[in-house]
Amino acid sequence: MQKPLKNLLTGALALLAPLALLAQKPADGDGAYKTGHYRDLFAGRGHSATASHAKIEATFQQLFHGDPQTQSVYFESGHNANGPLAYITDWANNDARTEGMSYGMMIAVELNKKHEFDALWNWAHTYMLVTDPKNPAVGYFAWSMNTDGTPRSTGPAPDGEEYFTMALYFAAHRWGNGTGIYNYQAEADRILRGIRHHPVLTGTSPFRIHPSDPPFTPPDHPWPSPNNTRLEQQAAAHGQKPQQFHFSSAPHAETIGPMVDEAHTMIRFVPNTNNPDTDPSYHLPAFYELWARWGPVEDRAFWAHAAEVSRHLFVAVTGPQTALTPDRVHFDLSPSLQRDGQPVPFSYDSWRSISNWSVDYSWWHKSADEPTLSDRYQSFLKSQGIHTFVDRYTLAGKPLSTRHSTGMVSTAAVGSLAANNSATSQAFVDELWNTPIPSGEQRYYDGMLYLMSLMHCSGEFRIIPPRN
């Protein structure tokens, strides 16, 4: 072959190589995605599918349409040009969060509740979506809002964007696409592209969510809530002042970019470029595998790799004797430190990690480490007392609270999807089944995790594939 022609062909092949990489379909594993079989853990404990479904439906009705003062976290709030509006509130903190809004949408699409799904998405899109071009978070969703649609924050949190994306893809597949904000596929693609490709923008506070809003300045004191009131009362009883976070209202520059750290193929804790942390509970390899098949073609190889990175992270950052994950670590997997210099412990975000890796194992069966982690985690909590283990620990297992929380019980039970079928894994399934539906002021986070955990453990939380 003549040298010029050979060089031309070599160059052409080099240009085609990235396209070939993008076209590679990741392996499907041997889990529910491939087999279509979702384990019903409750059936293994003697409960019929009818009884499990009734329990899930009763929980949905209480949390979404129960007594507004003691049971419900879902509230309808009128209409706009796009139809009904509704929000999910963290009752104990008097706000609506992208976390809860996206959880509510995921629950609604899985249970075929289109009215609630559309009303939640309409509220999130109307009030939370940042449209002011002077806000460096433009295109993201503000993570915390007052329930009247005014801001508590003008910046995002990636866990909400991840669940928005997945819920919208499932909605496109379950109900088909509508127009405008109800073109679910287009909205999911837009959010997912932003997660990886958001431009790096810098601005100086105060920021707005929408161009017509007044500038948002955080208060110089914590937001009023039952949680803060209780802290004040507890401190006063001991003659102390409560230690609470105070917002800085001074103008400051922020630089915000993608929600992933490209060098580490890892979701960020926040997209502010000066923050070197990831949150292990934000890692959702079960979802990333689907985005590697359904998302924008140019990003599919990235998400397939992100799933593998997340599986490695779970092993690397968990306590070796406890399988507890910290709320945050650096991208290089070294510990993030608190203000007192101690490593960030296992805390409220961390409850979700066992559910994330166990659902990943259930759907894909790609990591032999995930059953080991679930066994270790459940064994540790059982050693602490299955009815009494607390909700915050050091990674070595030193208790940091006295409260036993339903949300943590719930996600621990989801661990049985990956754990070896033992008396311990069965005990956690029983514990979830026998735990009452959360009510009262802590019903938001506990309740959302409780309901999704019931769905996972019954086999009713499923991949919703494209119609074709």
Catalytic sites, residue numbers: 99, 349
CA atoms within 13 A on the CB side of 60: 22
How far from chain centre, in Å, is Cα 422? 28
CA distances in angstroms from 176 to 101, 333, 335, 402, 467, listed in the order given: 21, 40, 44, 47, 8
With beta carbons less than 8 A apart as the criterion, state whether 26 and 292 touch: yes
Encoded amino acid at 416, one letter: S
Q: How far apart are CA 234 and CA 217, in angstroms?
A: 29
Q: How far apart are CA 453 and CA 326, in angstroms?
A: 21
Instruction: Say if residue 50 is exposed, middle or buried (CB neighbours under 10 Å; 0-12, 13-18, 19+).
Output: exposed
* Strand, coil or helix: 66: coil
How far separated are the first and last CA of the chain, in Å rounded? 45
Q: How far apart are CA 258 and CA 261, in angstroms?
A: 7
Helix or strand run (H / E) with residue 165: helix 158-175
Pull the structure tokens for residue 367.
């990591």
Handedness of CA 79, 83, 85, 86 (dihedral sign): positive
C-beta atoms surrounding 242 within 10 Å: 14
